[in-house]
Amino acid sequence: MDAVKRVLVVDDDPVVGKSFDRVLSGKGYAVITASNGEEALNKLRSENYDLVFTDIKMPGMNGLEVAEKVKASQPWLPVVIITGYGTDANEVQAKAAGVSAFLHKPLSPEMIEDSAREALMESATAAAPAESSMATAAPAPAAGFAKAATVARNIALFIAAPFIGLAYMIAFPFVGIGMVALMGGRALMKNRVARKIAVGVKNVGMIAAAPVVGLAYIIALPFIGLGMLAWAGTRALLKKAG
């Protein structure tokens, strides 16, 4: 084993704790003992353990109650029941509590070592799918966020497009007329009389065109601004989601 596994052995018979220590201490385990259920729960609250072995018949709290309390507070922590008074009812209650195994005394060194290894392997196997599913699910919010941002951008552009097109349709003829007038005006400016006429026509044209151009800007600007805000917001959302 790469790291020492801390094993808590709960039994009012000190010989049992010594047996576990003798079998497991040289195989990558640190064995800590508790003589009753209350002492065991206190140790579990103050220290971290990798595995719990508990006898059933003890003064005060019995081992099944210990197992139920351990699994209720630390469901990931494997618990193995050991007893010399095993009954079918006890085994049913132990399985309902979620214990990893139910061992009958007397225990051989092989039973102790095998049960410890199997309980830890079972715990590691149960934890692996949960970690894998969390890693797989982690990108999901970001992907959904990016998709929502793209949809919002497309909707904003779809809504704004007709109005922007209308603004261009209104403005374009006047822009073209203005360009023709500018070119013609430059040619006429070479003649003094024509220059005065051109200046007058230009001023009249600008006065006539001003309301229409202003109307085009009034129509276009809110939607251009909306499109720019939607685009800027979408880029910010996509950057955050990425």
Going from N- to C-terminal start, the domains of the chain cover 5-137, 139-241
Cα–Cα distance for residue pair 49/213, rounded to 1 Å: 79
Half-sphere exposure of 162 (CA within 13 A, CB side): 3
Contact 33, 42 (CB under 8 A): no
Q: Which two three-digit tokens encode residue 198?
A: 């051109």
What is the value of pTM for the model shown?
0.54
Q: Which two three-digit tokens encode residue 1?
A: 């084993």
Give the angle subtended at the CA of 19 by the CAs of 73 and 41, to the nearest 5°: 20
* 3-state DSSP of 108-139: CHHHHHHHHHHHHHHHHHHHHHHHHHHHHHCH
User: What is the topology classification, in CATH, of domain 5-137?
Assistant: Rossmann fold (3.40.50)
Lowest-confidence segment of 134-143, 169-178, 214-223 by average pLDDT = 134-143
Contact 8, 95 (CB under 8 A): no
The pLDDT tens digits of the residues spanning 78-131 come to: 999 998 877 889 999 999 989 999 999 889 999 999 999 999 998 787 665 545
Q: In the prediction, which pLDDT does 195 show? A: 63
Q: What is the DSSP letter of 61?
A: S
User: Residue 191 — φ and ψ, nearest 5°?
Assistant: -105, 130
Contact 53, 102 (CB under 8 A): no
Q: Tokens 């059933």 label which residue?
A: 56
The pLDDT tens digits of the residues spanning 195-233 come to: 666 566 667 666 766 776 677 667 766 767 776 776 676
